[in-house]
Amino acid sequence: MTNDEKLAQIGEIYSRSKRLFPEVPDLTIEELDRLRATTEVVLVDVRADKEQAVSMIPGAVTGREFEKKHRHQRGTTVVVYCTVGHRSGLYAKKLLKRGLQAFNLRGAILAWTHADRDLVNGVDPTRRVHVLGPKWSLEADGYEPVW
Sheet holding 26-27, edge to edge: 26-27, 101-105, 77-81, 41-45, 61-62
Instruction: Provide the phi-psi class of 34: left if phi over 0, else alpha when psi is between -120 and 50, else beta.
Output: alpha
- pTM value is 0.95
Contact 80, 104 (CB under 8 A): yes
Residue 20 and residue 4: Cα distance in Å, rounded? 26
Looking at residue 118, what DSSP letter applies? -
- Total domain count for the chain? 1
Q: Residue 74: what pLDDT?
A: 75
Residue 133 and residue 147: Cα distance in Å, rounded? 5
Residue 18 and residue 3: Cα distance in Å, rounded? 22
Q: Residue 93: what pLDDT?
A: 98
For residue 92, the enclosing domain spans 3-146
Here the CATH number for the domain that contains residue 17 is: 3.40.250.10
Q: Residue 76: what pLDDT?
A: 85
Residue 129 and residue 131: Cα distance in Å, rounded? 6
Mean pLDDT per 10-residue segment, the chain (147 residues)? 98 97 98 96 97 98 92 83 98 95 98 98 96 96 98
